[in-house]
């Protein structure tokens, strides 16, 4: 069970969908964005739950209700936070605004962490991820009649997106390759851009959600370093990441799977699984499963062909018989 605080917001929605796509049960937390949270929870088959995380009691209640209702809470993504729409220099920030900003960001994260870690200390397991940034791109707000006098955050974000597109072209042309993948090079993709309040106001902030899907032989930090991220108007934070998997064809686990499936050679896939985590703790791992991302993955009519399910069922039966034979020999 995964809790995503601030799950109804831009980054929060992306995190919820990502966990759901990997098969996790997700609690979409919200404070005021009830409609968005309920809509998202219906989309991903999750649960929407309200709590004002500025209150420690409210944070405790949220965690307790999740554990009571679902039996466990394995992962907490402390993503909730808010920042005033209009940016101001420090000396112009009122005391009330300062206190509210600290409470809505640092306070919310601390309260969430305390509540989750109390539960994790009892269950002796769990993962806590803190999301630290409040915005991707900063600009200067002002009336559009005087637009040239202000820095438009959406314009800065758009330039960054063009950079990711250019980087993708370079990776396709001259990047590291692994022909076992259907797309044999690392990819960079911008999936969401948000910003602006109304048409006649120059936007002060914008947010771009982008991803790097890299070959196991490459480091994502090296790919990211090719983007211009040093601007004072831009901050980048990692929302989530998971390791890739590269199982050697000579590994006995692959040989065993090959014997059971009659597949001539390994196929590498570009979507994420938990396999990399297992491999990183020393477990020899191969991903086996029905379906394909080629047709309708992550689409409204997503499904699996009956023929694929039959093949999966046949494999499970063959594996069962093989294990029974091993147990009888032992």
Q: Which two tokens stand for residue 252?
A: 């006995």
**CATH number of the domain at 1-134, out of 3.30.70.20, 3.40.50.1220, 3.40.50.720, 3.20.20.70?**
3.40.50.720
Q: Which two tokens stand for residue 49?
A: 């739950």
Q: Which two tokens stand for residue 12?
A: 């929060």
pLDDT in tens, 172-187: 999 999 887 888 899 9
The CATH number of the structural domain formed by 135-241 is 3.30.70.360
Nearest Cα neighbor of 81 from 60, 59, 61, 109 is: 109
DSSP reduced 3-state for 151: coil
- Render the burial of 228-255: b for 16+ CB within 10 Å, e for the rest: eeeeebbeeeebbeeebbbbeeeeeebe
Nearest Cα neighbor of 31 from 103, 132, 122 is: 103
Taking the C-alpha atoms of residue 31 and residue 261, their distance in angstroms, rounded to an integer, is 49
Q: Which two tokens stand for residue 190?
A: 């911008």
At 85 the pLDDT is 56
pLDDT in tens, 70-118: 888 999 999 888 766 566 666 777 888 888 888 888 899 999 999 999 8
At 329 the pLDDT is 46
**How big is the CA angle at 18 (ends 59 and 288), to the nearest 5 degrees?**
125
Q: Catalogue the E-assigned strands of 86-244.
A: 127-130, 137-138, 142-143, 187-195, 201-202, 205-213
With a CB cutoff of 8 Å and minimum separation 6, the contacts of 183 are 270
Taking the C-alpha atoms of residue 97 and residue 95, their distance in angstroms, rounded to an integer, is 5
Lowest-pLDDT range of 57-61, 130-134, 144-148, 223-227:
130-134
Taking the C-alpha atoms of residue 80 and residue 12, their distance in angstroms, rounded to an integer, is 8
Q: Which two tokens stand for residue 149?
A: 């006098």
In this prediction, residue 226 has a pLDDT band, given cuts at 50, 70 and 90, of confident
**Residue 210 near residue 189 (C-beta atoms within 8 A):** yes
- The two beta strands, 75-78 and 127-130, are parallel
pLDDT in tens, 135-152: 356 677 777 887 887 888
At 296 the pLDDT is 63
């Amino acid at each position: 069970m995964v809790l995503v605080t601030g799950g109804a917001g831009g980054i929060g929605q992306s995190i919820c969908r990502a966990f759901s796509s990997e098969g996790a049960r997700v609690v979409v937390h919200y404070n005021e964005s009830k409609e968005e949270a309920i809509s998202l929870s219906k989309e991903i088959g999750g649960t929407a739950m309200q709590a004002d995380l500025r209150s420690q009691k409210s944070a405790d209640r949220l965690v307790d209700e999740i554990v009571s209702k679902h039996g466990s809470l394995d992962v907490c993504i402390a993503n909730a936070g808010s920042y005033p729409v209009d940016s101001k220099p420090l000396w112009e920030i009122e005391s009330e605004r300062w206190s509210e900003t600290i409470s809505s960001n640092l306070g919310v994260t601390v309260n969430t962490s305390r509540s989750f870690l109390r539960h994790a200390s009892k269950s002796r397991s769990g993962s806590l991820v803190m999301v630290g940034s409040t915005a991707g791109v900063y600009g200067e707000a002002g009336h559009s009649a005087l637009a040239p006098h202000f820095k438009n955050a959406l314009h800065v974000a758009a330039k960054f997106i063009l950079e990711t597109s250019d980087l993708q072209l370079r990776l396709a042309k001259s990047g590291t390759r692994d022909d076992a993948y259907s797309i044999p090079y690392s990819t960079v993709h911008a999936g969401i851009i948000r910003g602006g309040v109304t048409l006649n106001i120059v936007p002060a902030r914008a947010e771009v959600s982008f991803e790097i899907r890299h070959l196991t032989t490459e480091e994502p930090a090296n790919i990211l370093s090719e983007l211009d991220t040093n601007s004072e108007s831009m901050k980048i934070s990692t929302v989530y990441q998971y390791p890739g998997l590269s199982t050697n064809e000579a590994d006995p686990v692959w040989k065993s799977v090959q014997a059971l499936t009659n597949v001539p050679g390994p196929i590498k896939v570009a979507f994420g699984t938990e396999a990399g985590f297992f491999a990183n703790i020393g477990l020899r791992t191969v991903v086996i499963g029905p379906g394909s991302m080629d047709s309708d993955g992550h689409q409204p009519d997503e499904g699996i062909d009956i023929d694929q399910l039959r093949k999966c069922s046949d494999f499970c039966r063959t594996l069962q018989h093989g294990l029974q034979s091993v147990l009888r020999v032992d």
